[in-house]
Chain A
Amino acid sequence: MGIPFYVQQGLNGLSFGALLFLLASGLTLIFGLMRIVNIAQGSYYLLGAYVGLSVMHWTHNFLLAIVVAGAAVAAIGACMQRWFLARFHQQALPQFLLTMGFAFIFSDQALLLWGGDPQSVPVPPALGGTLVLGSVYFPTYRLFVIVVGAVVYAGLWTLQERTRLGAMVRAAVDDAEMARGLGIHVGKVMTGVFTLGAALAAAGGVMGAAFLSIYPGADFDVLPLAFVVVIVGGLGSLKGAFVGSLLVGLLDNFGKALFPELSYFTLFAPMAVILALRPQGLFGRA
């Protein structure tokens, strides 16, 4: 296995990881602040992809598709959080079940609205080429996904660490009562974070649909992957989500390329091992 092999699989893994990050970052932020295990995160991905698909159909504008999908799903997320989840503050099981119920509804309604045929979002022509470096091939679009992932991480990190808004979120995560006492409207912060998580997942859906296709069941196919990422990285940690996505993307790719016999286990077995050794994940709080 020469250098080109490692470079090739490394790049593949990074691009897949970048996509996972878009999905997992929302999941981890939502959990960090609200302790909600959001089963509907996969549905946000699915709905975002389908909305983006329709927008592409009508306008052929990729950027618009991402923006509209993000906004539409963000609205759905906001409603879900404010009218349903907020009532069960600090009650993990009811919140988890609510998100599961909504996930079923969204999944079925998507089947009803967009039909059962698998479809793909067309890649914008500007990003349609393939980069060639010796024997290493890499589609330009996947490079784009990596760049977007990195930019989103940088943006989220800056938001969290360097802005007032981020400080409010961090305060609310640390101690909600205290934060409220300081005049921070914790309820609004929660809705905001939930909405952001949904928008990120939707954007991830549109971008993913362009190279992974969208079909009924995609929501429950990507969800376990996102969970693996946040668990390995540590629930609630943004850095954990970032490192976790890279790790999972690389592990999955190399695992499938080097040990194809074990393809069904390349994700979950290492995850179980990591959890056995460090239950809170790499960067999570105990």
Chain B
Amino acid sequence: MWRRANGSSGRWGSRAMGAAVLVALAALPLVSPTYYLHLLTLTFCYGILAMSLDVLVGYTGLSSLGHAAYFGVAGYMVGVLATRYALGFWPAFSLALLAAIIVAGVFGLLAIRATGPYFLIITLALGQIIWGLAYRWVSMTGGDNGLRGIPRPVVGFGLHLAQIQSFYYFALIVTALAAGVMAVLAVSPFGLTLRGIRESGSRMRALGYNVWLHKYLAFVIAGAFSGLGGVLYAYYNQFVSPADVSLVASANALLMVVLGGSGTLWGALIGAALLVFLQNLISGLTQRWLTILGAILVLSVMYAPQGIVGAARVLVARGTAGPASRAAPVPTAEPHA
């Protein structure tokens, strides 16, 4: 369980910080060059993906290497419906989300039986199946060329999101709502049960909880939110390709969760921002981005296992309460039976 520095005042503190960040993000388009708005919009799309994965990794203790599959299924669905059938935003969005939920529902049945490294590999395999489908079903997905020409949506009240400034606000609102819902989920009885399962599945079983059902529901919910990220992404880039459902995409999502700090939701967003900004800014300066990413990962595991958020919390705790608060390090989320 994640400990806060001090009880309720910590809660208000983080809420105030959250509000401040939101206000800052809302004000940004007034001052920032458009390129940074682009990067932030990308961050929001991946941020939703990462947060949804955190529900699995940080809260339920299940590390998945195939989570980009639902992101992609929803993205492709939006692409096909918007380009081929000229569906508007709300119908396309709903059907895409439904598709992600269905796929997660089916895959969950196969995956939840496994635990730990088996879960990792079976989710990898399932993700690869979706990737193979995206590649081979050329008539539907465009195959390797990808699906282009997705029009920016008209969201209602004639709000056309063609300009980056308007789309940015839209993405910000969607992300804030998604984060809000997932945060509420995290502190709900369901969320607390998940955390219990992460700590020890057998104990929860002994206490009478239906562990399988909880894990399955978490998987499907995570898949649904992943799909939400995919919808946003498809409308933003106006293009989807098999690279968006590849193993690399799923691994990147996992990295975002881990580097930001699993089990905190915030961490996933920060991890997404870190990866998007770092990758784009550093790849302009050096070709050795992959080495740098690898080094960051190694160093993070060695010296900041709870990610950025965890490290920040430790610093805050030390700062506010002095040496007495130097508690023993909290173990990282473990994939669990």
> Is B302 an interface position by the 8 A CB rule?
yes
Q: In the docked arrangement, what's the CA distance between A269 and B298, Å? A: 33
Instruction: Say which residue of A98, A112, A272 sits within 8 Å of B125 (CB atoms).
Output: A272
- Count residues on chain A whose CB falls below 8 Å from chain B CBs: 41
| CB atoms of B132 and A264 under 8 A apart | yes
User: How many residue pairs at the A-B interface have CB separations less than 8 Å?
Assistant: 120
Q: Given the known inter-chain contacts A220-B247, A272-B110, please indicate yes or no for A102 contacting B294, CB distance below 8 A.
A: yes
Q: Given the known inter-chain contacts A265-B129, A272-B126, please indicate yes or no for A31 contacting B117, CB distance below 8 A.
A: yes
Residues of B participating in the A interface, judged by any CB pair closer than 8 Å: 63, 109-110, 113-114, 116-118, 120-122, 124-126, 128-129, 131-133, 135-136, 247-248, 251, 255, 258, 288-291, 293-298, 300-302, 305, 331-335
**Which among B110, B293, B297, B300 has the greatest number of chain A C-beta atoms within 10 A?**
B297
| CB atoms of A94 and B247 under 8 A apart | no
> Is A246 an interface position by the 8 A CB rule?
no
| CB atoms of A97 and B110 under 8 A apart | no
Q: Which residue of A lies closest to B335 (CB)?
A: A92
Q: Which residue of A lies closest to B258 (CB)?
A: A97
Residues of A participating in the B interface, judged by any CB pair closer than 8 Å: 31, 35, 37, 84, 87-88, 91-94, 96-98, 100-109, 112, 220, 224, 227-228, 231, 235, 261, 264-265, 268-269, 271-272, 275-276, 279-280
Q: Which 4 A-B pairs have the closest CB atoms?
A: A104-B294, A264-B132, A101-B297, A105-B294
Q: In the docked arrangement, what's the CA distance between A84 and B300, Å? A: 12
| CB atoms of A101 and B114 under 8 A apart | no
Q: In the docked arrangement, what's the CA distance between A257 and B290, Å? A: 36
Secondary structure at the A interface, as helix, strand, loop or mixed, is helix
Write out the residue numbers on chain B whose beta carbons fall within 8 Å of the beta carbon of A97. 258, 297, 300-301
Q: Given the known inter-chain contacts A100-B251, A264-B132, please indicate yes or no for A275 contacting B114, CB distance below 8 A.
A: yes
Instruction: Say which residue of A100, A106, A112, A220 sits within 8 Å of B297 (CB atoms).
Output: A100
Q: Given the known inter-chain contacts A104-B293, A235-B117, please indicate yes or no for A93 contacting B63, CB distance below 8 A.
A: yes
Could you give 20 example pairs across A and B, Cβ below 8 Å?
A84-B298, A91-B331, A92-B117, A92-B335, A97-B258, A97-B297, A101-B296, A104-B290, A104-B294, A108-B290, A220-B247, A224-B124, A224-B128, A227-B121, A231-B121, A235-B118, A264-B132, A272-B129, A275-B110, A280-B118
